[in-house]
Amino acid sequence: MNQENAVIFCDREATFGNVFGQGRLEQLASVTSLYPEVVGDANFEAHVDKLADVEVAFSTWGMPSLSASQVARLPSLKAVFYAAGTVKAFAPPFLSRGIVVCSAWGANAVSVAEFCLGQVLLACKGYFRNTRDCRDVDAVYSKTPFRGKGAYGETIALIGAGQIGRKLIELLRPFRLRILVVDPYLADADAAALGVETVSLETAFRDACVVSNHLPNLPSLQKVLGRTLFASMRQGATFINTGRGAQVNEADLVAVWRERPDLLALLDVTYPEPPARDSGLFLLPNIQLSNHMAGAHDDEVVRMADYMLEEFRRYQAGEPLRYSVSLDMLDRMA
């Protein structure tokens, strides 16, 4: 079988080297006829005339945003394999010409879902509040540090059932849990197949021991999570946010968490990032911050290359693709 002519499009060559590290670049070179230079915005004009026979492109964070006229100068290009998440910034000119665009969003979803799984289980156990209480010597010696009820039989609510939400549902499946999902795009048949219940935002926040936000990063969803929802949460409940900080009304969250020390917030994302220096998020002991670490980083980014190498294998074999993106999908994608 003839090997496709391939090119690497990337403005951050070192980043590409990390993502396609641990032998993945060598794998790519072994299954394609790979153009010897990494092409980006700065050198596109110098190389484009030599790319007329390029059939597939690979990239990751740092993919140049080529214009429609630049894409038109790649007459043989049939597919782009993007070993990272969102493609909204660069995909439209490719998709408009019928060029397949595939994204490794599913690989990033694995990292976020694994992070959330740990937080959900520990939150049910009361771990985060317990460790805070254990800093109080008197509380430790009087055996009064907080303990949660545990995960067995608890109710967990996921706001959004995209790639991350669905992967988290899969990871939660071995545990005896009632899982509620808020997602207008999740059909009843799909919910039944996943073993979850579809509910309103109000029901999710009112009923769940842990509420985990996985909404896509869309302007229409800014500050959609506010005071009324937060104030309705169960005694001792936890709110996890690995979605986007802009979806939370920060002032409302701070106000409710100040009024209700029983609540816990585990925030991996804020708006802005980092929070303003005088933000109440830094001041309350029942709010714990991490700095946007849930997604793939360090060794985990290689999984993204693996996803795209496997997707390329399916493309070569004429098999259905798992991670291709269409123009219609872009409006509701993060």
Verify that 217 and 306 share a domain, yes or no. Answer: no
Inter-residue contact 156 to 120 (CB < 8 Å)? yes
CA–CA dist 106, 110 (Å, integer): 6
Predicted confidence (pLDDT) at residue 330 exceeds the cutoff of 90: no
Per-residue pLDDT of 171-203, as tens digits, reads 999 999 999 999 999 999 999 999 999 999 999
Q: What is the mean pLDDT of residues 72-88?
A: 96
Helix (H, G, I), strand (E, B) or coil at 74: coil
Q: What is the mean pLDDT of residues 7-25?
A: 97
Verify that 184 and 245 share a domain, yes or no. Answer: yes
Verify that 113 and 93 share a domain, yes or no. Answer: no
Verify that 66 and 161 share a domain, yes or no. Answer: no
CA–CA dist 334, 215 (Å, integer): 8
pLDDT confidence band for 332 (50 / 70 / 90): low
pLDDT confidence band for 274 (50 / 70 / 90): very high
Q: What is the mean pLDDT of residues 299-326?
A: 97
* Per-residue CA distances from 226 to 30, 165, 210, 245, 328 (Å): 52, 21, 16, 12, 30
Verify that 164 and 224 share a domain, yes or no. Answer: yes
Verify that 228 and 243 share a domain, yes or no. Answer: yes
Query: By C-alpha distance, which of 188, 190, 192, 182 is closest to 224?
Result: 182
For the entire predicted model, the pTM comes to 0.89
Predicted confidence (pLDDT) at residue 79 exceeds the cutoff of 90: yes
Q: What is the mean pLDDT of residues 239-247?
A: 97
CATH number, position 121 = 3.40.50.720
Verify that 99 and 123 share a domain, yes or no. Answer: no
pLDDT of residue 331: 72
Verify that 136 and 280 share a domain, yes or no. Answer: yes
pLDDT confidence band for 217 (50 / 70 / 90): confident
Per-residue pLDDT of 139-164, as tens digits, reads 899 989 999 999 999 999 999 999 99
Verify that 312 and 241 share a domain, yes or no. Answer: no
Q: What is the mean pLDDT of residues 204-231?
A: 96
Q: What is the mean pLDDT of residues 217-233?
A: 95
Per-residue pLDDT of 110-138, as tens digits, reads 999 999 999 999 999 999 999 999 998 99
Verify that 41 and 20 share a domain, yes or no. Answer: yes
Q: What domain range is 16 assigned to?
A: 5-103+298-330
pLDDT of residue 94: 98
pLDDT of residue 216: 86
84-88, 110-114, 224-228, 327-331, range with the lowest pLDDT: 327-331
CA–CA dist 208, 213 (Å, integer): 12
pLDDT confidence band for 270 (50 / 70 / 90): very high
Verify that 88 and 142 share a domain, yes or no. Answer: no
The whole-chain average pLDDT of the chain stands at 96
DSSP symbol at 3: P
Number of domains in the chain: 2
pLDDT of residue 329: 84
Verify that 11 and 63 share a domain, yes or no. Answer: yes
User: In the chain, what percentage of residues exceed pLDDT 70?
Assistant: 99
